[in-house]
Chain A
Amino acid sequence: MNRRIAGSLALETANDCLRKQKDGLRSNGGGRLVEVSGGSATAVLTFAVRLLLEAQRAGEPVAWITGGDSFYPPDVHDAGVDLEALVVVRLPRARGKETQPARAADHLLRSGAFGLVVLDLGNASRDRALPLPIQSRLAGLAKKHGSALVVLTARDDSMRSLGPLVSLHLEATRRASGCAFRVLKSKLPGDGEARTGGGAFSRAALEAGGIYRAPDGLR
Chain B
Amino acid sequence: MRRMACVSTPALPLQLLLRREPSWHATPVAVLEADRPQGRILWVNEKARAYRILPGMSYAAGLSLTGKLRAAEVASSEIEAATVAVIARLQRFSPRVERSGETGLSCPGTFWLNASGLELLYESLVDWGERLRATLREHERLDSTVVVGFTRFGSYAVAQSIAASGAENERLRVFRSPDEESEAMRAVPLERLTLSPGTRDTFAKLGVLTAGDFAALPPEGIERRFGKETLALHRLARGELGEPLDAEPLRVPLCRRMHLETGSADMDRIIQLFARMLEPLLEQLAERGEMLRELELGFRFENGQGHGERLRPAEPTRDVKQIMDLVSLRLASVRVPDLVSDLSLEAIGRKTEFEQLDLFTERPPRDLAAANRALARLRAEFGESAVLRVRLQEAHLPEGRFRWEKLDRLEAGGGESRAEPPGDGVFIRRLFAPPIVLPARPRHEPDGWMLRGLQQGPVMRVHGPHIIAGGWWRAAHSGVQREYFWAETQRGELLWVYYDRSRRRWFLQGRLE
Contacts and interface: CB of A to CB of B under 8 A. Distances in A.
- Do A and B belong to a common assembly? yes
Interface of A: 4-5, 7, 9, 38-46, 49-50, 53-62, 69-91, 100, 103-104, 107-108, 110-115, 122, 174, 179, 210-219
Contacts, number: 219
Given A40-B492, A41-B492, A103-B381, A57 B416 contact: yes
B415 A85 contact: yes
Given A111-B374, A217-B484, A71 B430 contact: yes
Given A213-B426, A217-B466, A113 B489 contact: no
A179 B373 contact: no
Closest 8 pairs between A and B when the two form their complex, measured CB to CB: A85-B414, A41-B492, A80-B420, A113-B371, A217-B466, A111-B374, A56-B415, A45-B513
A73 B463 contact: no
Contacts of B374: 107-108, 110-111, 113-114
Interface stretch (B112-120, B241-249, B285-293, B360-368): B360-368
Given A61-B366, A80-B422, A174-B494, A72 B415 contact: no
Given A57-B419, A85-B415, A90 B404 contact: yes
Interface of B: 22-23, 364-368, 370-371, 373-375, 377-378, 381-382, 385-392, 398, 401-402, 404, 407, 410, 414-416, 418-433, 456, 463-466, 484-486, 489, 491-494, 496, 510, 512-513
Contacts of B364: 59, 61
Contact of A76 (B416, B425, B428): B428
B486 A217 contact: yes
Interface of chain B: mostly helix, strand, loop or mixed: mixed
Contacts of A214: 427, 512
Contacts of B375: 87
A46 to B, nearest CB: 5
A39 B492 contact: yes
A219 to B, nearest CB: 5
A87 B407 contact: yes
A59 B381 CA distance: 28
B492 to A, nearest CB: 3
17 contacts: A39-B492, A41-B494, A43-B427, A55-B415, A69-B430, A71-B428, A83-B392, A85-B415, A85-B418, A87-B387, A89-B387, A104-B378, A113-B374, A174-B427, A213-B425, A215-B427, A217-B466
A53 B425 CA distance: 11
